[in-house]
Amino acid sequence: MKNRKKPARSRKSTWEAVYEIARQIPPGRVMTYGQISRLLDGRISPRYVGFAMHACPEDVPWQRVVNASGGCSTDRLGGGEKGLQRFLLEMEGVEFRPSGSMRLEKYRWEP
């Protein structure tokens, strides 16, 4: 084949790789930003995973991606409905502690 091989991350937008993973998260389970970063073999930093999710298409269950503390950073943004992410997760059967965090040990999903 021709030598025209672009860097792997340019094959698709680096963000797209994040979406692919997020779409595989089953209901009632969650993944952390850092976890996704590691699954991508460090091609993208945890910071940017979250940033990618912010611009994610609608077919991505962004709600199932939380920070390493098991909390919803999105709720802090106040961009719209406060607690929307938490609300959606509770619909899927995820329980939150009063502190606003979930038990990651229980809900974290690993492929």
Partner DNA sequence: CCATTGACGAAGA
Partner DNA sequence: TTCTTCGCCAATG
Give the interface with DNA as residue ranges (CB under 7 A): 9, 13-15, 32-34, 42-51, 53-56, 62, 65, 67-69, 73-74, 76-77, 85, 99
* Nearest approach, Cβ of residue 35 and DNA (Å): 7
Distance, in Å, from the CA atom of 93 to the CA atom of 83, rounded to the nearest integer, reads 15
Nearer to DNA, 42 or 111 (CB): 42
Nearer to DNA, 23 or 47 (CB): 47
What sign does the CA torsion over 64, 71, 46, 111 have?
Answer: negative
Residue type, 17: A
* Nearest approach, Cβ of residue 92 and DNA (Å): 15
* Nearest approach, Cβ of residue 96 and DNA (Å): 14
Nearer to DNA, 2 or 79 (CB): 79
Helix (H) or strand (E) holding 37: helix 33-39
99 and 105 Cβ atoms separated by less than 8 Å: no
Distance, in Å, from the CA atom of 98 to the CA atom of 38, rounded to the nearest integer, reads 29
Nearer to DNA, 1 or 7 (CB): 7
Residue position matching structure tokens 């059967």 = 93
